Structure 1
């Protein structure tokens, strides 16, 4: 769940409301493919519930759950994904189109700055965890979060619950 806090903790309430109004919920059945390696994707996703497998040529690389972001690398690079994403169980994701996001980013400078900053924090955390898996972890940094990120954590958690609540009504 910590991953989504990077994103939601640095956006404004109006930004979150815009995202809620412009995205939709998508349910995935066990085994259903959300993203296929090599195929361009049109959306960026936040996992609301369930568990997804990140895989490459049928080999599971990682499992992700509630609060994780998917499709962010293809969003940033405008390249097809290098892995596939498949539901490991009944799952629900929040989906927002790259086209709508790009329009918002082009027209709202504050949103753009906050969105890209939070995405940079998210990707930095992911890279740190990856390098830690190779034995480069400092015991003091095992699960720490910088103070500037912590400032928005409580608000981000409330925002994630707001998104969950909104989509439980649909």
Structure 2
């Protein structure tokens, strides 16, 4: 878990969060590994999960066309949860991944318990929307 905390502290949207807040965020999700070519989420499906990428790379695709490449330090799935909308893109691993997986319930609880987490997710969602519009 201490490695998770160190990796989360390096995520730009979590800059400025206290060690205690980052520790709660790390404990609020489940670290898991994902093989290459695995679909983590599909376009036009409910926003029921999000991930923080600790290691590896992903392809973000809209209508089958790659619109972005993401990797370590990126958050995925936050936009649909923050905006309470269907997914706007599909996300597929291009390499094996290590991620922290959050269910919608985990995120809702963390947003209540750690207001800075809610603010960080909103910043990430706003930045993603601006970069894909």
TM-score (norm 2): 0.79
Q: Normalising by the residue count of structure 1, what TM-score does the alignment of the two structures yield?
A: 0.64
- Structure 1 residue runs of 5 or longer lacking an equivalent are 132-170
- Would you say the 8 A contact 1:19–1:96 is kept in 2? no
Residue 4 of structure 1 corresponds to: 11
- Kindly state the Cα deviation for residue 129 of structure 1 after the two structures are TM-superposed: 5.1
Residue pairs, 1:49-64, within 5 angstroms = 49-64=55-70
Structure 2: tracts of 5 or more residues without a match: 1-6
Which structure has more strand as a fraction of its residues?
2
Q: Structure 1 or 2: larger helix share?
A: 1
Change beyond 3 A, Cα 1:48–1:73: same
Q: Of the two, which has the highest radius of gyration? A: 1
Q: Secondary structure at the match of 2:11?
A: helix
Match status 1:29 vs 2:35: yes
Tell me the number of residue pairs that the alignment of Structure 1 and Structure 2 aligns: 125
CA distance in 2, matches of 1:86, 1:51: 9
- 1:47 aligned partner: 53
* SS across alignment from 2:17: coil
Deviation at 1:69, TM superposition (A): 0.5
